[in-house]
């Protein structure tokens, strides 16, 4: 039964990621709160899926010419380092603290999505010509995402827009950036679980999440993405409040 739930959940969440660029942060919640996996297992399964969604999504934006490689590689280089630090920090913190951070990120992500929908950010002053700023931004976001289980785009994309990046290009860069966050995070968390016993499950996760992203990318233009984002945001806020309530 759990395998069926995981397969369906990955198709649905992968579809939402393909359509809206957000919702990946719901995967750790599915595994930990919904199915009772440990925080480490939930993060390992989630980041493995994020590699697929980030790779497939960024390829689509790159084919559309919406990818500034200089910005993407500087940001992603920092995120790669930040993700390694995040995984190591996870080993030093109590599980309860990591779960608290995870649900806090879910709550704040939901609020951020609603605010972004109501007040779409306008590109600000162009700070994207400062390589050091991009690397520092990558390190900070990579650390937070690797530690909490957030996929990356829901945090990185709005920040890029505020720094002067064109919104569509920001989505493409954020998706590619999520691959560099997810690679070290997935390796780090997978090394902490019984990998051989979970290989069949990992294969199911990769296939179903990838399928969901492909379907979502094709359906995206035909479906009201604003409605989907609002629904995801409301669900995240409710879930975050329930889990954080003392």
Q: Is 66 helix (H, G, I), strand (E, B) or coil?
A: coil
pLDDT digits (tens, 9 = 90+) for 40-70: 999 999 999 999 999 988 888 888 787 888 9
The answer to whether residue 237 scores a pLDDT higher than 90 is: no
The mean predicted confidence, pLDDT, of the chain is 85
Share of the chain above pLDDT 70, in %: 92
Helix (H) or strand (E) holding 141: helix 131-148
Take residue 166 and report the two structure tokens written for it.
């064109």
Higher local confidence (pLDDT), 109 or 58: 58
What is the reported pLDDT for 123? 54
Q: For 173-188, how does the pLDDT look when each residue is reduced to its tens digit (9 = 90+)?
A: 888 999 999 999 999 9
- pLDDT of residue 156 exceeding 60, the answer is yes
User: Who's near 217: CB < 8 A, 6+ residues apart?
Assistant: 18, 19, 56, 57, 60
Rounded to 5 degrees, φ, ψ at 25 are -70, -5
pLDDT of residue 38: 92
């Amino acid at each position: 039964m759990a395998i069926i739930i995981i397969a369906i959940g990955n198709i649905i969440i992968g579809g939402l990621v393909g359509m809206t660029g957000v919702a990946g942060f719901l995967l750790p919640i599915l595994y930990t709160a919904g199915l009772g996996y440990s925080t480490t297992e939930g993060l390992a399964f989630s980041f493995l899926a994020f590699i697929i969604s980030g790779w497939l999504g960024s390829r689509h934006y790159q084919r559309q010419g919406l990818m500034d490689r200089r910005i993407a590689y500087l940001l992603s280089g920092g995120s790669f380092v930040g993700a390694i630090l995040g995984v190591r920090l996870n080993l030093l913190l109590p599980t309860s603290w990591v779960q608290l951070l995870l649900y806090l990120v879910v709550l704040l992500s939901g609020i951020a999505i609603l605010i972004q929908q109501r007040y779409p950010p306008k590109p600000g002053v162009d700070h994207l010509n400062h390589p050091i700023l991009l690397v520092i931004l990558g390190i900070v976001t990579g650390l937070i995402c690797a530690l909490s289980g957030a996929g990356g785009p829901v945090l990185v994309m709005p920040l890029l827009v505020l720094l002067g990046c064109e919104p569509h290009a920001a989505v493409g860069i954020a998706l590619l950036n999520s691959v560099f966050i997810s690679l070290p995070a997935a390796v780090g968390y997978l090394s902490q679980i019984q990998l051989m016993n979970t290989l069949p499950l990992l294969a199911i996760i990769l296939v179903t999440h990838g399928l969901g992203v492909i379907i979502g990318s094709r359906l995206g233009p035909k479906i009201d993405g604003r409605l989907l984002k609002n629904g995801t945001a409301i669900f995240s806020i409710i879930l975050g409040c329930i889990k954080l309530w003392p």
